[in-house]
Amino acid sequence: MGIFNLSSRKSKLERLFEKSRADYEDACKKKTLSSTLTFRIKLARRAKANIDKSFIEAATQTEKYENLKEIYYEAELSGDDLVAPVWKTPYQLIKSDNGVIVSFIPDDYSKEVFSLARAYQTCQISAGKTALIAESIMSNICSELNVNMPISVLQFIASSKDENEPSETPDRGSDHDALSTTKEN
């Protein structure tokens, strides 16, 4: 009977994944005491780390894939055996001062971050638009968690955008901003 119990047990990591998802869903529903503002902010910050890490992983996988395609093309090989990167999970293991924690974001957002990273890495979308879409995803997560504070994601994209894209200067005499970032309630 001991053998059956061991095989039916979930791994510690699987239990942490389930807890991470349950925490997020409970915080969104506001049904538990654990959905205090402090806890919801903690989940939002974990979501930020998840988005950043997921984006980097997807972009890295895409870069490796695209480089292999180029090598195959130059060698006049078919490349039929190459497999494009695919989305795998909405969970990320995040290193913190207190060890490793599990972060969860809903599948739809996770898949969108994955697709966004692939499009960015293959130059199908600009850095500015990438940053805007990622901020929108994070804003939706904050809204679901009822966290009314801006949390920036993909700041490394914004940095590279500032370095690589020419800045636009407003005309003299123009006293309005081209973009307003204030959020209306």
Report if residue 178 sits inside a domain: no
2 located within any domain: no
Mean pLDDT of 149-174: 65
- Min mean pLDDT across 39-48, 136-145, 167-176 is at 167-176
> Is the pLDDT at 129 greater than 50, yes or no?
yes
Can you give the three-state secondary structure of the chain, one letter per residue? CHHHHHHHCCCHHHHHHHHHHHHHHHHHHCCCHHHCHHHHHHHHHHHHHHHHHHHHHHHHHHHHHHHHHHHHHHCCCCCCCCCCCCCCCCEEEEEECCEEEEEECCHHHHHHHHHHHHHHHCCCCCHHHHHHHHHHHHHHHHHHCCCCCCCCCCHHHHHHHHHHCCCCCCCCCCCCCCCCCCCCC
pTM across the whole model: 0.79
pLDDT value, residue 10: 77
Residue 152 domain-assigned? yes
Q: Which residues of 65-96 are buried (b: 16+ CB within 10 A; e: fewer)?
A: bbeeeeeeeeeeeeeeeeeebeeeebbbebee
In a domain, 24, yes or no: yes
Q: Are 146 and 163 in contact (CB under 8 A)?
A: no
Judge whether residue 30 has pLDDT over 70: yes
The model's confidence at residue 35, banded by pLDDT at 50, 70 and 90, is low
Q: Which of 61, 53, 55 is nearest to 113 (CA)?
A: 55
Comparison of pLDDT for 146 and 138, the residue scoring more:
138
pLDDT at position 162 = 55
Please count the structural domains in the chain: 1
pLDDT at 116: 97
Q: What residues make up the domain containing 99?
A: 11-162
Higher pLDDT, 8 or 107: 107
Percent of the chain predicted with pLDDT > 70: 77
Does the residue 181 lie in any domain? Answer: no
How confident is the model at residue 81, as a pLDDT? 87
In the chain, % of residues over pLDDT 90: 60
Kindly state whether residue 48 falls inside one of the protein's structural domains: yes
pLDDT surpasses 50 at 51: yes
Contact 24, 105 (CB under 8 A): yes
Contact 145, 27 (CB under 8 A): yes
Q: What is the pLDDT of residues 54-105, one digit of tens each?
A: 999 999 999 999 999 999 899 988 878 889 999 999 999 999 898 999 999 9
Tokens at 182, concatenated: 């204030």
Residue 157 lies in a domain: yes
| Range in 3-12, 118-127, 145-154 the model is least confident about | 3-12
